[in-house]
Amino acid sequence: MYFKGINSYGDRGLVLDFGNETSKSISQEVNEAFLNISNLNLQSLNIIPSFNKIVVIFENSHIRDQNKDKINIKMNETKSKSNKKATKTWKIPACYDEDFALDIKIIQKLHQITKEEVINLHSSVRYYTYYIGFMPGFPYLGDVPSQLITPRLATPRVKIPARSIGIAKNHTCIYPKVSPGGWNIIGQIPFDIFDLQSSYPSLFLPSDEVKFYSVSLSEFQKIRKYNFSINELIKEYSS
């Protein structure tokens, strides 16, 4: 158990503290607690998990104080029994073609490996979804194999293409839409991962597992044309 306790965040927020470290097992506990607290259907405005914290926001201090005990009781209850929730496992096509792999040479040079080795390493691991943040639908995935760990770009890029796959430190990500950013871009996926028309707008959710597989440029373009909806993507690429 990593859970340390609940602290106040101003007059209307709470922070559930899981320490100062980050690891997959800490995140698993955070995300399990996130689901348990979400299922309490509290009068909260937002519940935000991250690497080792969960922030819960209420409309005012009165409602916050009324709900604090319910969270406390739930956290103590789940200390003893763990109820694993079925999360999705994704197999996501990734095109590492040079048109998309804008920064792959930086990683090759840093680790003295070939492009094929970068691709094989990146698509060899089943990544864990730590949390969704930074921009709508942006998944923090990890951990990448040690031979791929690479610092952020010294100068962030002004415009990263939508659907780009990036690596920064021990994490990998997908940019849902065009954005400035400092991750090393190594490829692109052929569909959108955030859809405002859907009531479940984000393809990935905290604690989903994601594995990439390499596809050719022509295969990438073929999938791109289908224009899958979120529901179709779930059927096609997750289990």
Partner 1 sequence: MNSIIITRAGTHSTIQDFGRFQYQHLGVSPSGAMDQRIITELQKIIPNHQNQFLEFAYVGPSIKVKEGSVKICVGGNCNMSIQKNNNSQLECQPYKSINLFEGDELIIHNTIDSVYGYIAFEHGLGLEPCLNSYSTDTKAGIGSINRPLNDEDIFHISKDVSSWDLISIPIPDLEKVTNFKVYPGPQLQYFSDNTLQSFISGVFTITNQSDRMGIRLKGESLISSKSHDILSEGILPGSIQVPSDGQPIVLMRDIPCTGGYPKIAILNEVDISRISQLPPETKITFDLQTIY
The residues of the shown chain that bind partner 1, judged by CB under 8 A, are 7-13, 15, 20, 22, 34, 45-55, 57, 59-61, 131-138, 177, 194, 196, 201-202, 205-206
Q: How far apart are CA 111 and CA 88, in angstroms?
A: 32
Residue found by looking up tokens 């559930």 in the block: 16
CB of 222 to partner 1, least distance (A): 27
Is there a contact between 125 and 144 (Cβ–Cβ < 8 Å)?
yes
Is there a contact between 104 and 118 (Cβ–Cβ < 8 Å)?
yes
DSSP 78: H
Tokens of 235: 């059927």
CB of 55 to partner 1, least distance (A): 3
Which is nearer to partner 1, 16 or 215 (by Cβ)?
16
Is there a contact between 93 and 188 (Cβ–Cβ < 8 Å)?
no
Tokens of 21: 């470290």
Which is nearer to partner 1, 46 or 227 (by Cβ)?
46
Which is nearer to partner 1, 108 or 133 (by Cβ)?
133
Is there a contact between 34 and 133 (Cβ–Cβ < 8 Å)?
no
CB of 43 to partner 1, least distance (A): 11
Burial of 199 (0-12, 13-18, 19+ CB in 10 A): exposed
Which is nearer to partner 1, 119 or 192 (by Cβ)?
192
Which is nearer to partner 1, 51 or 228 (by Cβ)?
51
Which is nearer to partner 1, 92 or 230 (by Cβ)?
230
HSE value, Cβ hemisphere, 13 Å, CA-based, for 38: 13
CB of 173 to partner 1, least distance (A): 11
